[in-house]
Chain A
Amino acid sequence: MEDKKVIEVNGLTKMFGDFTAVSAITFDVKKGEIFGFLGANGAGKTTAMKMLIGISKPTAGEAKVAGYDVASEAEEIKKNIGYMSQKFALYDDLTVKENITFFGGIYGLTRSQIKEKTNELIEELGLQDHKDKLVGSLPLGWKQKISFSVSLLHDPKIVFLDEPTGGVDPITRRQFWEMIYKSADKGTTIFVTTHYMDEAEYCDRVSIMVNGKIEALDSPKKLKELHQADTMNDVFLKLARG
């Protein structure tokens, strides 16, 4: 793992009226790192993430993603990141191939690049027999794997995953994490939110958000030592209960 910082966040804050959703958070993410962004529902994870991917403007503070400022250079950021949302987000009424072509197209890939990527992806996921099927007819686990691969189509520097494994079985989750490891090995930085604490153990470092603030940030091992807990789940419960 290199020490180059690809995400630098400094005092990032988001207010909705009087309500402070994200309160002056500060952290860095290094290149090739798998960074877990944890927190209970409503802790401000999604809001923070939306600021980082350039679709929500910060109220105060600053953040740089892939070297670009989130407030003023959002368009540049968008070209350099991949994103997979917690809502499943491929088009059900397009085939696997058509989805890949479409998303490749909006990221500006050329026709030959798209063709190459499509073949690669279909082979990797073993979808030879299903590439012309409508995505809507595939099982959820497959869809999520395709969705993840699609978010990597344009070789982004960083990929943001917003609760990517919601609603799938443990085996598929395991396979999904293997895919994550593989792309991290290739140098892609992974920024992942989750509320499965066992998944937190797979991350290089995790941050835990409580009420809009980051309460803990370190490797899972060190966090467990620090809080004298056996699992990340216990760490989380200790922090969340304050």
Chain B
Amino acid sequence: MKRFRGFVIKEFYHIFRDKRSLFILFGMPIAQILLFGFAITNEINNVDIAVLDHSKDATTKEIINKISASSYFTIDQFIEREADIETAFKQGKVKAVLNIEKDFSKKLIAESKAEVLIITDATDPNTANTIYNYVTAILQNYQQGKNKGSNMPYQITPRTRMVYNPELKSVFMFVPGVMTIILMLVSAMMTSISITREKELGTMEILLVSPLKPFQVIVGKVVPYIFLSVINAIIIVVLSIFVFKMPVEGSLFLLGLESVLFIITALALGILISTIAGTQQTAMMISLMGLMLPVILLSGFIFPVASMPYILQLISNIVPAKWFIIIIKGIMLKGVGLQFIWKETLILLGMTVFFIGLSVKKYKIRLE
């Protein structure tokens, strides 16, 4: 065990002293998640909105002023009739319409609550969500100011309605996808490179002549990457939640477990690659061509699997990433539990066992 610990420590030295791998490890996930995120999100600055004010009283004026005073929104037009909402959206300039209900002030005083309906154009789902969040924040801020020192606190309830894409079908596709790519990259590519590096440098031979058992060598090489991949997964989830307001509907614990399973799948693939590849270059090429491309093209990350030609649909079944994306989308977006994703989990588990078995066999052959 002590031998093993020393081995793992040495592995961390390698990682932290190699600027290139450090960059791949931590620079890439952050850069990618931000890039993908902001490529989809429009900047929330001076977004044009329309206002349909049914009340036109003092309170609603204050609210509207507060919103237009913020740097996030510009009030493009005031509309008078419900029917004009659609026209405003169709013109394409307005991204959201604030629909303030009738007798807003009166209701607020009589019943201590009133509603604002925020109608957003969800063709751009991320922006729609962000607009809703920002308006809600402004309303809350206003309400807090009003309630200060009052013994009859009132409540302004923002409601939302997404138009044009109510289910937000393609939304947040990028987070599961990027998470899958990063875990694949870090786990499979980095492990295969670090194992082949030892082969190339001749240190692998020294390790095999030492009393360390071959499986200790391999596990020792892999443990730091499990650890770092888990940290990466956490970074990605935290960024998604706090920067992109991505919901995690299901259990974080289950998400964690499934991620660890996928990390192990990827590591097993990395080990397998390292048994085939003799040099770091080869390992990198095989990882990129053999793993990254399928993850990007065939996993359903960018191109929906259902609309692929039949033959590609069949091939996509052997891409582990496809199953992982289904799993994490289920957990994060739909909030499903294990009872809905046990099949996919089982498939991943089967693949992992298969890859580990195969690499153990390959590894033994190499030792002969």
Secondary structure call for the B interface: helix
Instruction: Knowing A79-B211, A87-B205, say if A93 contacts B18 (CB, 8 Å).
Output: yes
| B209 contacts chain A at the CB level, 8 A cutoff | yes
| B59 contacts chain A at the CB level, 8 A cutoff | no
Residue of A54, A78, A87, A106 touching B202 (CB-CB under 8 A): A87
Compute how far the CA of A88 lies from the CA of B5 in the bound complex, rounded to whole angstroms: 24
Q: Check B13 against A53 for contact (C-beta < 8 Å).
A: no
Instruction: Knowing A83-B209, A85-B206, A87-B202, say if A106 contacts B7 (CB, 8 Å).
Output: yes
Q: Check A108 against B209 for contact (C-beta < 8 Å).
A: no
Interface with B: A5-13, A97-105, A124-132, A221-229, which one? A97-105
Chain B residues within an 8 Å CB radius of A108:
2-3, 211
Residue of A56, A57, A89, A101 touching B201 (CB-CB under 8 A): A89
Q: Check A105 against B209 for contact (C-beta < 8 Å).
A: no
Chain A residues within an 8 Å CB radius of B66:
none
Chain B residues within an 8 Å CB radius of A55:
205, 208-209, 367
| A81 contacts chain B at the CB level, 8 A cutoff | yes
Chain A residues within an 8 Å CB radius of B206:
83, 85, 89, 103
Compute how far the CA of A198 lies from the CA of B210 in the bound complex, rounded to whole angstroms: 31
Chain A residues within an 8 Å CB radius of B18:
93
Q: Check A78 against B209 for contact (C-beta < 8 Å).
A: yes
How many whole Å from A92's CB to the nearest CB in chain B?
Answer: 8
Chain B's closest residue to A105 (CB) is B6
Chain B residues within an 8 Å CB radius of A240:
none
Compute how far the CA of A107 lies from the CA of B5 in the bound complex, rounded to whole angstroms: 12
Chain B's closest residue to A75 (CB) is B211
Compute how far the CA of A231 lies from the CA of B89 in the bound complex, rounded to whole angstroms: 97
Residue of B7, B14, B17, B203 touching A105 (CB-CB under 8 A): B7
Q: Check B211 against A85 for contact (C-beta < 8 Å).
A: no
Q: Check A89 against B205 for contact (C-beta < 8 Å).
A: yes
How many whole Å from A83's CB to the nearest CB in chain B?
Answer: 4
Compute how far the CA of A133 lies from the CA of B209 in the bound complex, rounded to whole angstroms: 26
For window 187-224 of B, CB contacts with A under 8 Å fall at 201-203, 205-213
Query: Which of B2, B13, B201, B211 neighbours the largest number of chain A CB atoms within 10 Å of its CB?
Result: B211
Compute how far the CA of A89 lies from the CA of B6 in the bound complex, rounded to whole angstroms: 17
Instruction: Knowing A83-B206, A89-B201, say if A106 contacts B14 (CB, 8 Å).
Output: no
Compute how far the CA of A186 lies from the CA of B5 in the bound complex, rounded to whole angstroms: 32
How many whole Å from B275's CB to the nearest CB in chain A?
Answer: 16
Compute how far the CA of A178 lies from the CA of B173 in the bound complex, rounded to whole angstroms: 66
How many whole Å from B208's CB to the nearest CB in chain A?
Answer: 5
Compute how far the CA of A64 lies from the CA of B32 in the bound complex, rounded to whole angstroms: 57
Query: Which of B207, B209, B213, B367 neighbours the largest number of chain A CB atoms within 10 Å of its CB?
Result: B209
Chain B's closest residue to A102 (CB) is B10
Q: Check B10 against A98 for contact (C-beta < 8 Å).
A: yes
Q: Check B209 against A81 for contact (C-beta < 8 Å).
A: yes
How many whole Å from B106's CB to the nearest CB in chain A?
Answer: 73
How many whole Å from B209's CB to the nearest CB in chain A?
Answer: 4
Q: Check A107 against B210 for contact (C-beta < 8 Å).
A: yes
How many whole Å from A133's CB to the nearest CB in chain B?
Answer: 13
Chain A residues within an 8 Å CB radius of B7:
102, 105-106
| A27 contacts chain B at the CB level, 8 A cutoff | no
Residue of A57, A85, A98, A107 touching B205 (CB-CB under 8 A): A85
Chain A residues within an 8 Å CB radius of B17:
93-94, 134
Compute how far the CA of A90 lies from the CA of B10 in the bound complex, rounded to whole angstroms: 12
Q: Check B13 against A106 for contact (C-beta < 8 Å).
A: no
Chain B residues within an 8 Å CB radius of A98:
10, 13
Compute how far the CA of A39 lies from the CA of B10 in the bound complex, rounded to whole angstroms: 36
| B111 contacts chain A at the CB level, 8 A cutoff | no
Q: Check A106 against B201 for contact (C-beta < 8 Å).
A: no
Chain B residues within an 8 Å CB radius of A196:
none
| B368 contacts chain A at the CB level, 8 A cutoff | yes
Compute how far the CA of A85 lies from the CA of B210 in the bound complex, rounded to whole angstroms: 12
How many whole Å from A91's CB to the nearest CB in chain B?
Answer: 6
Chain B's closest residue to A87 (CB) is B202
Q: Check A93 against B3 for contact (C-beta < 8 Å).
A: no
Please name the 7 residue pairs, one residue from A and one from B, whose CB atoms are nearest each other, closest first: A87-B202, A105-B6, A83-B209, A93-B17, A102-B10, A89-B202, A89-B206
Other CB < 8 Å A-B pairs besides A91-B14, A94-B17, 4 of them? Answer: A83-B205, A103-B206, A105-B3, A106-B6
